[in-house]
Every structure is written in C-alpha cells, then in structure tokens.
Amino acid sequence: MSIFSTDILKKTDAYVPGEQPQDKSYIKLNTNEFPFEPCDGVKAVVNGEKAADLRLYSDPTCRVLKEAIAENYGLKTENVFCGNGSDEVLALSFLAFCKKDDTVVFPDISYGFYPVFASFFGLNYREIPLETDFSINENDYYSDCGTVYIANPNAPTGLTLGTEQIENILKNNPNHVVVIDEAYCDFCDCSATGLIGKYRNLLVVRTFSKSYALAGARIGFALGDKELISDLEKAKFSFNPYNINRLSIEIGAAAMKDREYFEKTVAVIKENREKLTDDLKKLGFTVLPSGANFVFAKKDGFDGEKLYLELKENGILVRHFGKERIKDYLRITVGTKEQNAALINTLGRILK
C-alpha cells in the first residue's frame, strides 16, 4: 500500500472475482455467465453504426433502457434505477441507505461483495449464520437495525426464500431498506417484484449479466418505490452521472424487449440444470436444490479444493470457496448440454 492510502482502504479486503482467463481455452463454469450468445437485437446495436455517436456523452437518465425495463415489469420509469452492473447498484444502495449508527445485516454465506462494500463504506455489519441446511431463517432478520441484504436465490447455495418470508422481513424492518438481490431470479419463480407498491422499504436489484448473456456489457438495475429510486439517482448524480455507456443503454433495451429469445434460452438452462443435478447425483454428489443457473455440490470424502484444481488441470473452471462451512463444495455454472457433459465425464474420470 502507498503511504497515501486511507485507513479504510488499508482495512478493506477487496472483492476477489472469479478467474477470468483471457485465452478462452477453458470450459468456463465458474462465474455464472450465460452460455448462449446475446439476442440478435443486441448484436444489431453492436454491429450498427453507433461508433460515431461515442463522441457524445451517454444519456444520464438512461431513458430507453428504463422504459424497456418498466414496460416488462408493469412499472413506471420512476420505479427503475439503472447502474453499471448490479454491483454498482448495490454500492450506491450502501451509500444511499446505510447509516453510520446502523448495523447492516446479511447472511454469513452469501454474495461476497456485501461485506466488502460494508467495510469500504465504513459501516457496522453483522453476518447472520445460515441454518445448518444452508437455509435462511427469516426470524433472524427481524431486528430492524439496519439495511438488510438478501440474495434470492442465494449465492453460492442456490437456495430460494419464499415471497411470504420476504414479506415478513419487510414488515419487521419498517425503518430500514430491505434489498433483495435477484441476480438469479430469472431461473426460478421467487421474485419479490410483485411486492413493489406495497412496501416502500423494498428494493429489488437485478442484472443483465446472468440471464441476458450480457455480463460484459455491465448493466444492472433496481426496482422499487419512487422515493428509493430518486435517492439512488441522487447518489448516482453525486458520483458518476454517465454511469452506463451509450452502447450498453441500447444493448440492455434491446435484450429486455426480446422476450421470446429470453424465455427460450432461460428454459434451456433450467432444463440443463435438472439434468446436471441428476448426473452429479449419479456420481454420488450431494446437490442443493437450485433456483439459479448454477448448482452447489459436494462429494463426501473428496476435498473441494482438490476437485476444483483437478478440473482446472483438465480444462474446466468451476468456483471453489475457502470458507470453512462450504470448503467441500463446488459451485458449478449450468452450461450448454455439451459443456455439462464434458464436466460430468471429466469428474467421472477424476473420481476413479
């Protein structure tokens, strides 16, 4: 660290993203990207003649993107906030809603960025242990002591929390925002978006990275009460008004509008997920029921890290986390049928 760095920077352990090899030689099942290409509308934007327009700033209101999102969810644009990936949306939510004397809460096993943001923004936080079966006990989140962050489906477990449980958490935190991070929600039927309008403390965070095949375009959004959204806008205009580039605004709008392609491809991933789960079970793995585009699995008697390393040696990347409670598990992104078959074949060989 330089002698100029702040205490907060010194004390923060930065987020460590999954490996992103740039040589494309791996079967990449480690960061929950979509294995299919983006829809034709997206390609038309990229291949169109927009390069000349890049001399101009992007629209700081992200109007066309907001309109496409609002229409899809039956909401108004005043209920939609857009960010440079949902990571930025989450960061701005910490800045906008987490107060110094509060204690931010989230599960001990969840998205690794929550404790990083809390630390980086100098906030108190408490990690609430998941139950032994990795489920979230809603009763643990009734303290109303600060902003609540819950990923639903949770990552890396893939387990989902019912809308009723989320509603109970909303009711029991009337003085704080409850952020439901629905990065994987398109792969199940657990969305809290139906509760917008009923609870002014609900913020749903979404992304184009997983289900729209647009991880590299960096587009995320939040849905919620118009007052929460205008707070996020104020935070963004105090930080980076042109947060989404011109191409990504149009790319996101095109992807959101093509419902047919979205539904068709997401259905394939769900189907592949069930097959992958069955095949892993046949190899003797314990697989948690997943509502996401990944599965969380372990095999008794086998070290998670060793399996991860052996798969890597064989050209297949999955994600392993060193945390004590989950160190025997692998988080495996659901890929194409061919990718999943390659994984199963390779695992079969390694296990022998």
Residues in touch with ligand PLP (CB under 6 A): 85-87, 111, 151, 155, 181, 183, 207, 209, 215, 220
- Minimum CB separation of residue 182 from ligand PLP in Å reads 8
- Minimum CB separation of residue 21 from ligand PLP in Å reads 18
Nearer to ligand PLP, 21 or 284 (CB): 21
Nearer to ligand PLP, 299 or 319 (CB): 319
Give the 3-state secondary structure of residue 338. Answer: helix
The first and second tokens of residue 212, run together, are 């729209």
- Minimum CB separation of residue 184 from ligand PLP in Å reads 7
Omega before residue 156 within 30° of 0, cis? yes
Q: Which long-range contacts (CB under 8 A, 24 or more apart) does 113-122 make?
A: 113/15, 113/87, 114/90, 114/149, 116/12, 116/13, 116/14, 116/15, 117/90, 117/91, 118/94, 119/8, 119/11, 119/12, 119/13, 120/8, 120/9, 120/12, 121/94, 121/95, 122/8
Nearer to ligand PLP, 88 or 167 (CB): 88
- Minimum CB separation of residue 218 from ligand PLP in Å reads 7
Q: Which residue in the block uniquely carries the two structure tokens 């989950």?
A: 326
Nearer to ligand PLP, 85 or 291 (CB): 85
Nearer to ligand PLP, 136 or 347 (CB): 136
Cα-flanking dihedrals φ and ψ of residue 114, to 5°?
A: -60, -50
Contact 129, 110 (CB under 8 A): no
- Minimum CB separation of residue 333 from ligand PLP in Å reads 11
304-to-20, 84, 98, 285, 307 alpha-carbon distances in Å? 20, 33, 36, 12, 5
Nearer to ligand PLP, 94 or 347 (CB): 94
- Minimum CB separation of residue 321 from ligand PLP in Å reads 13
Nearer to ligand PLP, 261 or 294 (CB): 294
- Minimum CB separation of residue 104 from ligand PLP in Å reads 15
Other Cβ atoms within 10 Å of 107 Cβ, number: 24
**CA nearest 169: which of 106, 84, 91?**
106
